[in-house]
Amino acid sequence: MTMTNNATHERRRLAAITRVDAKGITGQARYAAIRQAEEEIEREELTAAAARQKEQSAAEQAKAERQRVASCIEAGRATGRARQLARIALSSPLDAAGAKALVASLPPDAAAQAEALRIPTAAATFGTAEAQAERTRMAQILGAEVAADRFAAAAAFALETPLGVADALAALALVPAAAAASRIPTIAERAAEMAEFGGSDAAFTSRIDGKPDVDAMWKKAVHEANISIGAVDPTPRPAAGPGAPSPTGAEHLARQHSRHNF
């Protein structure tokens, strides 16, 4: 019989002999008592060895399941389909090869239906009990509400650490949520903003190739705002002839003063 730790076994055997001798047993009775103690030690060590082997096997199966799911997610990471593949991998025995073959048929996550991105927190029942337990742990992390806008961090906690669900979600809550995607304002929204600067309907009629000229609209709104605070001269002036000097700043200020000197 192979012992997992011969030194420990020998210490326990000697301790058992000492206990027998302390009882004052001699002859065949002593031999029988020692033999009984040794058999008990062997049974305990065999039970412990079996438990360690089972624990090691469970850890290996959990690791293999994490690697399977991670390989599926990786197959879609570069093309923005990681979340959909995570859902499929947690719901079926999809492997890396299958994920690579499937990824081209999926829309990007940004364009996918909400249901295609929802990761059920109850994992599908396939594989060994150990693999299913690990898959459930991953699903409860990736499918949590706090993971909705922290998918990359959630995947790291679920796939690269042994953290339990509660610890992983607590750590995940400390991670900043992904920044909202920037949105370009519509022409109507820009027009509304420019109207607040004093622009009129006429300010929005300038067009280039049939489309509103946003730059021209903005310049006109700013110009009218400048007029309202006296920063520019609103009086139309004929174009200066060739070589004619343009009004100086002093002349402009004088005109402004005469306009407001009642």
- Tens-place pLDDT, residues 134-179: 999 999 999 999 999 999 999 999 999 889 999 999 999 999 987 4
Q: Report residues of the chain scoring pLDDT below 70.
A: 1-4, 179-262
Q: How far apart are CA 138 and CA 66, in angstroms?
A: 8
Distance set, CA 235 to CA 195, 199, 230, 245 (Å) = 22, 18, 11, 17
State residue 241's pLDDT score. Answer: 52
Identify which of 227, 156, 218 has the alpha carbon closest to the alpha carbon of residue 191: 218
Identify which of 170, 123, 167, 173 has the alpha carbon closest to the alpha carbon of residue 143: 123
Token representation of residue 173: 């809550």
